[in-house]
Amino acid sequence: MIYLDHNATTPVDPRVLEAMLPYLKSFYGNASGLYKLGRLSRTAVDTARHQIAELVGVAASQVIFTSGGTEANNLALTSLEPAAGLAVSAIEHPSILEPAERLHRQGHPLSILGVDSDGLIRQDTLDEIIRAEKPALVSLMLANNETGVIQDIARHAEPLRSQNILLHTDAVQAAGKIPVDFKALGVQMLSLSSHKLYGPKGAGALIFEKGARLSPLLLGGGQEQNYRSGTENVAAIVGFGKAAELAKAELAQRSERLAGLKIQLEAGLRSISGLCIFSENAPRLPNTVQFGLPDVDGEMLLMKLDRHGIAVSSGSACASGGKEPSYVLTAMGIDPALARSAIRISLGSSNTPEQITRFIEILKTLVSQEG
Ligand SMILES: Cc1ncc(COP(=O)(O)O)c(C=O)c1O
């Protein structure tokens, strides 16, 4: 199989699995237990907390473990004071857009920031929303899961900070692929997910600036400084920590490798007549390429590629399955017919130059059959 869908999820790194196994086999203690078995789990969770903190340059006490990126995003939005306004970009992941819509239905003013044809949030659009709507909280993703476009969060943060507007960034797709530094970004909250960086599914974190007023989604035993009750998923947290440690240590070599593969991939794609690479001129993640082919049905192409053992996505994995064109491409003003043809390739550790060559060969054959 040629797996080209690493933005949907990544395989667990064998070193991560190795680190997790003792906590699945022998060290099963509840991290709240005061006896040795419990203390072993507590120490493991604390180590992971430090590893995550190191990845994004914060103190360990600023890390709240969650069940994943979705929960971290939902938790971030609880920082909104009653009736206060919220602004989010049109291309956020559904785990921001859906809770934002619910908050709106509950009476919070909601502004949706458009993007330009490259998928970038424009500073003047943000300035206008700050001036006209005065939101209390803004949520802008660092890197988009479909196009891979990287936003200039540090730049957008400046006017927000000077007006005491909270800024959250969804860094789920960025972490492990580009440097993510909480302070340099100038945000007050940041979401991470383990399974996007070769850790296990079902673990994530919200990083928060001390003093941020979050309202827990889950109430109970008071774990995670009262921000997230529930017995810690120790093995998954240990795996997330190990994955974060490896991502930090290997970031430069990983992104260099991916960038090389991406150059090869894009050169191959450009040799297909009529093919259009979305957001081609915007800063993008080193692993992500989304393209469209006029008169091609993206879902059909995906299925044909699958029959050749190639796994790709026709847009956002979490939102795919419908015939609606991707809302991200729609927000960029891409023609709906072209948007319906979209295929996303997201490269990762297992991919080789030979696989890219093979993928391009098969894609060319399939596209020529369409014509
Ligand atoms: C940008 C982005 N944010 C959040 C999420 C949700 O993360 P999780 O799958 O850990 O809930 C995803 C998953 O695809 C994502 O791509």
pLDDT in tens, 184-201: 999 999 999 999 999 999
**Residues 168, 157: contact at Cβ < 8 Å?**
no
Closest Cα partner for 234 from 54, 19, 78?
19
Tell me the pLDDT band of 315, cut-offs 50, 70 and 90.
low
Residues 82-92 as b/e (b if ≥16 CB within 10 A, e otherwise) read eebbbbbbbbb
- Domain positions in the chain: 2-9+251-370, 14-246
Does pLDDT of 371 surpass 80?
no
Atom of ligand 1 nearest to the CA of 144: 1
Residue 210 to residue 182: CA distance in whole angstroms: 12
Kindly tell me the burial class for residue 1, based on how many C-beta atoms sit within 10 Å of its own C-beta (0-12, 13-18, 19 or more). exposed
Return the percentage of the chain with pLDDT > 90, whole number: 95
Tell me the pLDDT band of 370, cut-offs 50, 70 and 90.
confident
Residue 278 to residue 147: CA distance in whole angstroms: 7
CATH of range 14-246; options 3.40.640.10, 3.40.50.300, 3.10.20.30, 3.40.190.10: 3.40.640.10
What pLDDT was estimated at residue 331? 97
Q: Which stretch of 102-106, 133-137, 316-320 has the lowest confidence by average pLDDT? A: 316-320
Residue 2 to residue 263: CA distance in whole angstroms: 18
DSSP state letters, 43-105:
HHHHHHHHHHHHHHT--GGGEEEESSHHHHHHHHHTTPPTT--EEEETTS-HHHHHHHHHHHH
To which H or E segment does residue 139 belong?
A: strand 137-139
- The CA 177 to ligand 1 mean position distance, Å, reads 15
Q: Which stretch of 28-32, 122-126, 193-197, 312-316 has the lowest confidence by average pLDDT? A: 312-316
The tokens describing 19, both together, are 């680190």
pLDDT digits (tens, 9 = 90+) for 323-343: 789 999 999 999 999 999 999
To which H or E segment does residue 342 belong?
A: none
What pLDDT was estimated at residue 324? 87
- The CA 358 to ligand 1 mean position distance, Å, reads 29
Does pLDDT of 268 surpass 50?
yes
Give catalytic residues, as residue numbers.
318
pLDDT digits (tens, 9 = 90+) for 213-228: 999 999 999 999 999 9
Residue 96 to residue 70: CA distance in whole angstroms: 8
Beta bridge partners of 346: 5, 288
What pLDDT was estimated at residue 317? 42
Diameter of the chain measured on Cα atoms: 68
The tokens describing 332, both together, are 């960029």
Beta bridge partners of 289: 345
Atom of ligand 1 nearest to the CA of 316: 14
Class of domain 2-9+251-370: alpha beta
- Determine if ligand 1 sits within 6 Å of the CB of residue 68: yes
- Determine if ligand 1 sits within 6 Å of the CB of residue 318: yes
pLDDT digits (tens, 9 = 90+) for 319-328: 445 578 999 9
